[in-house]
Each structure stands twice: as structure tokens, then as C-alpha cells.
Amino acid sequence: MLYALICEDKPDSEALRKSTRDDHLAFIQSHDVRFAGPMLADDETTMIGSIIVLAADSRAQVDEFAAGDPYQLAGLFQNVTIRPFRQVIPG
């Protein structure tokens, strides 16, 4: 099953995001992430969160992934929403 994680950063936390980015990227590359990237502010430059689509066998695995993300451990995220996701395009 695919799961979408919508992770919203705490306000004014871009410096924390940048300082933790290498650890975060190494972490997500060790999992079955189908696609991921930063959400941007309206200025189309400032990173304000992340979207990750992860393949996992259970919601419990996704919860474990979310809890172990270096961004989460560093206190970057204000809110994380996790939802099952069905990819339609591309099929």
C-alpha cells in the first residue's frame, strides 16, 4: 500500500531543515519512497514542509518511518498527516 505523508514545518525553521537535510535524505533513501520533495511557500523558494509517498505493508510501518525521520527527531515538523494513497496517474 502507498501512504502519503504531508509534513508541515514549524514557522521560521528553514535553517533547521537545511542543517538536517543530509540525514533526512539518507534516511528516506533507505526506505521504499516512491517520490518526495519539499513543499514551498508562495515565493516558490522557501521550503515549508515535505510531501513523501512511501510504500509500506502497514500503517504501523509508516508511523515508525515518520517517527524516525531525522526532520521529526530534530523537531522540524509542526504537523504530520498520513493517509493511504492510491496512485492512478501514471498507471
Per-residue pLDDT tens over the stretch 22-31? 999 999 999 9
pTM: 0.94
Mean pLDDT of the chain: 97
Residues 74 and 51 sit within 8 Å (Cβ to Cβ): no
Per-residue pLDDT tens over the stretch 45-83? 999 999 999 999 999 999 999 999 999 999 999 999 999
Average pLDDT over residues 19-47: 96
Q: What is the pLDDT of residue 91?
A: 83
Place of cell 498507471: 91
Fold of 2-85: Alpha-Beta Plaits (3.30.70)
